[in-house]
């Protein structure tokens, strides 16, 4: 190990990794439980160890708890892995419209039959829309920002959006470096509180950055958000 990679606050890196494998498994199991898609726990563990090693290198005792810092880095690495491995399917435009109506009217809890009657669309189309809402990409890319809320599912991008990776990358390139960092962390599944801790800013500050990104994204989309 290169001297520049040694963290005196944590001692030997290999011993640190060995000692904290339990933390990696904890985050892995939580991740598997959260996402309703096939995930290989051993692959996730290997990615989590890489996140743990990154945490070892970047940890500063002055910034708080080691376990919190490590868990954030592990989670970030897992979210990045899932994002890269998950297939990105571009739904039909009508699916976005149905999803937008469901979210706007706050009727997600209703049955497929009830949704079909209220929205006047077939049950088959309702099922497709609900499946899309449950996908990791939809959850990551399409929730509203609430400055004081730090629960999972918050985000800055509206529901009415094409999920083409090229388009997201193009939008990201229009942002300044600080906004890009916040957006990349959010797309990896981190919430405002976690983003604030990693970026070394307040949660309110993180919320403001995400809100500005949301406003810019609406402009980028031509004001077409539902």
Span 48-89, pLDDT tens digits = 999 999 999 888 888 788 998 899 889 888 877 876 665 444
140 and 215 inside one domain: yes
52 and 33 inside one domain: yes
76 and 100 inside one domain: no
73 and 114 inside one domain: no
- pLDDT of amino acid 191: 77
Give the Å distances, CA to CA, from 90 to 132, 156, 162, 167. Answer: 10, 19, 7, 12
In total, how many domains does the chain have?
2
Task: Note whether residue 99 is domain-resident.
Answer: yes
For residue 149, what are its two tokens? 């809320």
- pLDDT of amino acid 45: 94
- The DSSP line for 184-203 is HHHHTT--HHHHHHHHTS-H
The pLDDT of residue 163 is above 60: no
Instruction: Give the Cβ contact number of residue 3 at 10 Å.
Output: 5
Task: Note whether residue 125 is domain-resident.
Answer: yes
Task: Note whether residue 226 is domain-resident.
Answer: no
- Among 35, 51, 85, where does a domain finish? 85
39 and 122 inside one domain: no
pLDDT confidence bin for 26, thresholds 50/70/90: very high
Q: Does pTM surpass 0.75? A: no
Q: What is the CATH number of the domain that holds 18?
A: 1.10.1740.10
User: Could you give the CA distance from residue 27 to residue 114 in angstroms, rounded to a whole number?
Assistant: 37
17 and 98 inside one domain: no
User: Could you give the CA distance from residue 26 to residue 28 in angstroms, rounded to a whole number?
Assistant: 5
The pLDDT of residue 116 is above 60: yes
Structural domain containing residue 178? 93-220
- Among 31, 53, 85, where does a domain finish? 85
56 and 110 inside one domain: no
Mean pLDDT of 6-14: 90
81 and 99 inside one domain: no
81 and 101 inside one domain: no
Task: Note whether residue 52 is domain-resident.
Answer: yes
186 and 104 inside one domain: yes
135 and 110 inside one domain: yes
Report which of residues 200 and 91 the model is more confident about.
Answer: 200
Give the tens place of pLDDT for each residue, 182-219: 888 877 667 788 888 888 898 888 888 988 888 887 67
Give the tens place of pLDDT for each residue, 120-162: 999 888 887 887 676 544 544 444 333 334 333 333 343 333 3
Task: Note whether residue 225 is domain-resident.
Answer: no
CB neighbour list of residue 8: distance below 8 Å, 6 or more residues apart: none
- Among 49, 66, 85, where does a domain finish? 85
Tokens 């990105």 -> residue: 88
72 and 99 inside one domain: no
């Amino acid at each position: 190990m290169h001297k520049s990679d040694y963290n005196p606050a944590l001692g030997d890196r290999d011993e640190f990794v060995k000692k904290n494998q339990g933390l990696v498994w904890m985050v892995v199991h939580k991740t598997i439980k959260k996402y309703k898609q096939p995930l290989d726990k051993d692959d996730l563990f290997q990615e989590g160890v890489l996140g743990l090693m990154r945490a070892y290198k970047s940890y500063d005792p002055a910034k708080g708890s080691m376990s919190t810092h490590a868990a954030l880095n592990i989670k970030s690495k897992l979210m990045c892995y899932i994002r890269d491995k998950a297939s990105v399917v571009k739904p039909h435009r009508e699916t976005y419209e149905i999803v937008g109506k469901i979210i706007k009217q706050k009727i997600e809890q209703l049955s497929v039959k009830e949704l079909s009657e209220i929205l006047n669309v077939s049950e088959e189309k309702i099922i497709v829309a609900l499946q899309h809402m449950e996908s990791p990409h939809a959850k990551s890319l399409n929730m509203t920002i609430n400055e004081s809320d730090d629960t999972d599912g918050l985000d800055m991008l509206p529901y009415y959006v094409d999920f083409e990776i090229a388009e997201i990358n193009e939008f990201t390139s229009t942002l300044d470096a600080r906004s890009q960092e916040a957006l990349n962390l959010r797309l990896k599944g981190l919430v405002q509180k976690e983003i604030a801790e990693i970026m070394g800013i307040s949660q309110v500050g993180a919320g403001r950055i995400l809100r500005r990104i949301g406003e810019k994204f609406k402009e980028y989309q031509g004001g077409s958000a539902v």
